Chain A
Amino acid sequence: MTTGADATLDGLLHAAVLCGDPDELARRIAPEVRTTLGAGGTAEIVLDRRGVRAFRDLMGDHGRLRFPSPATAAATPPARRVEGLAGERDARGLVLGRVCADDRSPEGELAENAITLLLADEPVSVLCVYDPADPDELGRALRTHPWLHSPDGPRRNPDFRPPAASSPVPAGLFGSSVTTLPVPDGSALSTLRGRVAAIARDLGLDPERAEAVVLAAHEAMLLASGADLVSDLRPGQNVLDVRVTPGAVVAECRGTPPSGTPTPAVEDPRFAHLRRFCDRATAHTDQDGRLVRVLTGTTP
């Protein structure tokens, strides 16, 4: 399992920071930002002018401390908001902001769920600032964050409701489903590739990106079925669902590997390989089988 709720600190730490005062927020988070920078990581503070000033006063300037504007972050799909954070020696990155909190529509909550699901394997801390004095904000913060930030460090959030890792996935989260295809055995893999290639073509992806989308979806289906690195697709109730958002194409592959399949999907070499050919990949195993999602942005 690699949902955020079960992530270790090797993966995503998606935590709510319950704090309504910018100066207090800066004081609470500054030690963590320093730790991140000291370990070679990159930190991004995505706040309004007052919040940025509070951090600048405390932290000064640092080459790996950045202050992107909230408007820029809001225009970026949630699953792509931590790009460019890879630091030296693969150090963890840190992002702090309240872009989702400021979006009071249902999209804001969906964006939090997208972060939990799609960035589950990313070595990054995403700290979302919510005002505890606002009952709506507090409710959303508690619902959508697996972790809560506290002065003693992160702690599990008992009120967290994990987003659905299985279909039907809300269209607002991963886009509308544009095709669903049963893939009962290996001979159907060519149909899967043809279907994904047609979608990539319709979206106007450049040829290399389109081929990468096809390869990632193909490998994801093999992985979901429980096939090992060189074997054929395991026959079963394997299903491809392709979803399209304005910024990305998501191939969702569900398979039913035999119970007791030894290797968790995320440790499979195939998973490591397919991640090189998409922007995001997650794998989940639940009572319904194994679900592998690969997301590729429509622009490089």
Chain B
Amino acid sequence: MSVDTGPRPDAGSARAHELQVADTDHAQRVGAAAWVDRELAFGAKVFYKGWLGDDARVEKHWIAGPEGTRRTREALRSGQLEFLDFPTLIERCAAGGDGLTAGLHRLQADELHRALAEGWPSVAMTQESSRRELVDDAEVAEFARQEGGYDSLVAEAPVRVLCQLNTSVENEVHVFESLGVHHRRIVDVGWDAALDDGLWRLRGDLDAHVARRFGGALAGALREKATGGDLHIDLAAVGFVDVACAQLLVHAARAEPEGRRIVLHDPPRLLSRLLDVLQRPASIVVVDGERP
């Protein structure tokens, strides 16, 4: 085992399963490269799953080139970073004969246990956009079960998971469902979300450009609450909400069962007015803080 001894930045929580959303290949690579570099600097064993070109050589993948970091290239050589391409992953998952999802969960658990047995202090896993069409409800459900495997690993050991979503290569259904599955922790362009002590904390600007994605995340947050109480959303760090996103809140609240509420904490100054313009239902409750 060889660990880089350079400066180690704050790696945040030791356990996390988050979604990083990017609009372009370049943005996806920049974000993923930074995340991988930080994990390596923190001393984690990193498992990377992605797409290789026709020649299936990791040396040709962007992460091994100038878009990756020196630390990443060295980790590929030392084994701190392991790369697995998607076709091989699918082949291995299917080999067990009990379905892709079961095979995937087994493979992920094997990776985790092997890394811990080798003495790595923490484990990081990331995968590129899977380019699945999610053509029907069955596929969506399977996708959710597969992502649930990561949640199980995070609950079991110090594992950090980064799922990369590139909106330029996925269809609208995939983007929407992916945001919903990952609503607990999302880093998108201009906004992010984190579920923390039952409070869904949003940050940044919610506008028409991200409205469909925000709608997906909101649907996921409400789905998780399907058998629970109200959805509490902390908007203290949100600077702007436009008509499109306010409309999503109104539609979501109207679709909720009676008695369930969406409680907005510390919204931007104009959001209450905007919601009134959109005929806010009683199931949206605004709890004002004192914004400067």
Selected from A189, A215, A222, A230, the residue in CB contact (under 8 A) with B247 is: A230
- Is there a chain B Cβ closer than 8 Å to A276's Cβ? yes
Q: Assess A186 versus B209: contact at CB under 8 Å? Given A215-B270, A273-B277, A276-B277.
A: yes
Contact indicator B243/A229 (Cβ below 8 Å): yes
Contact indicator A187/B269 (Cβ below 8 Å): no
Give how many A-B residue pairs fall within 8 Å (CB-CB): 68
Contact indicator B277/A230 (Cβ below 8 Å): no
Within 232-285 of B, Cβ neighbours of A (below 8 Å) are at: 240, 242-244, 247-248, 268-270, 273-274, 277-278
Binary interface profile of B, 201-244, with partner A (CB < 8 Å = 1, else 0)? 00001011101100100000000000000000000000010111
Residues on the A chain within 8 Å of B273, using CB = 276-277
In the complex, the 7 A-B pairs of residues with the closest C-beta atoms, listed nearest first:
A186-B209, A230-B244, A211-B270, A232-B209, A273-B243, A232-B208, A276-B277
Contact indicator A219/B242 (Cβ below 8 Å): yes
Residues on the A chain within 8 Å of B215, using CB = 230
- Is there a chain A Cβ closer than 8 Å to B33's Cβ? no
A268 vs chain B, min Cβ distance (A) = 11
Q: Assess A218 versus B207: contact at CB under 8 Å? Given A190-B190, A273-B243, A277-B270.
A: yes
Residues on the B chain within 8 Å of A218, using CB = 207, 240, 242
- Is there a chain A Cβ closer than 8 Å to B288's Cβ? no
With the chains together, A233 CA to B269 CA distance in Å?
24
Contact indicator A273/B278 (Cβ below 8 Å): yes
Given A231-B244, A273-B274, 9 extra CB contacts under 8 A: A189-B207, A190-B209, A212-B270, A215-B270, A222-B242, A229-B244, A229-B247, A231-B211, A232-B212
Selected from A211, A233, A276, A277, the residue in CB contact (under 8 A) with B209 is: A233
Contact indicator A230/B248 (Cβ below 8 Å): yes
Within 179-223 of A, Cβ neighbours of B (below 8 Å) are at: 186-187, 189-190, 193, 207-208, 211-212, 214-215, 218-219, 222
Contact indicator A207/B269 (Cβ below 8 Å): yes
Contact indicator B208/A190 (Cβ below 8 Å): no
A213 vs chain B, min Cβ distance (A) = 11
- Is there a chain A Cβ closer than 8 Å to B23's Cβ? yes
Residues on the B chain within 8 Å of A215, using CB = 240, 242, 270, 274
- Is there a chain A Cβ closer than 8 Å to B89's Cβ? no
Contact indicator B205/A190 (Cβ below 8 Å): yes
Residues on the A chain within 8 Å of B134, using CB = none
With the chains together, A186 CA to B212 CA distance in Å?
12
- Is there a chain A Cβ closer than 8 Å to B194's Cβ? no
Residues on the B chain within 8 Å of A86, using CB = none
- Is there a chain B Cβ closer than 8 Å to A270's Cβ? yes
The 25 listed contacts between A and B (C-beta, < 8 Å) are: A186-B207, A186-B208, A189-B208, A193-B205, A193-B240, A211-B269, A214-B240, A215-B242, A218-B240, A222-B208, A222-B242, A222-B244, A227-B208, A230-B211, A231-B208, A231-B211, A232-B208, A232-B209, A233-B208, A233-B209, A270-B243, A274-B243, A276-B277, A277-B273, A277-B274
- Is there a chain A Cβ closer than 8 Å to B109's Cβ? no
Residues on the A chain within 8 Å of B207, using CB = 186, 189-190, 193, 218
Closest to B205 in A: A190
* Best-buried of A215, A222, A277 by chain B (most CB within 10 Å): A215
Residues of A within 8 A of B (CB): 186-187, 189-190, 193, 207-208, 211-212, 214-215, 218-219, 222, 227, 229-233, 270, 273-274, 276-277
Contact indicator B268/A211 (Cβ below 8 Å): yes
B179 vs chain A, min Cβ distance (A) = 15
* Best-buried of B189, B190, B207, B277 by chain A (most CB within 10 Å): B207
Closest to A208 in B: B269
B243 vs chain A, min Cβ distance (A) = 5
Closest to B251 in A: A230
A169 vs chain B, min Cβ distance (A) = 26
With the chains together, A227 CA to B208 CA distance in Å?
9
Closest to A221 in B: B208
A70 vs chain B, min Cβ distance (A) = 36
Residues on the B chain within 8 Å of A211, using CB = 240, 268-270
Closest to A269 in B: B243
Q: Assess A219 versus B243: contact at CB under 8 Å? Given A273-B277, A276-B273, A277-B270.
A: yes
Residues on the B chain within 8 Å of A193, using CB = 205, 207, 240
With the chains together, A44 CA to B82 CA distance in Å?
79
With the chains together, A232 CA to B206 CA distance in Å?
12
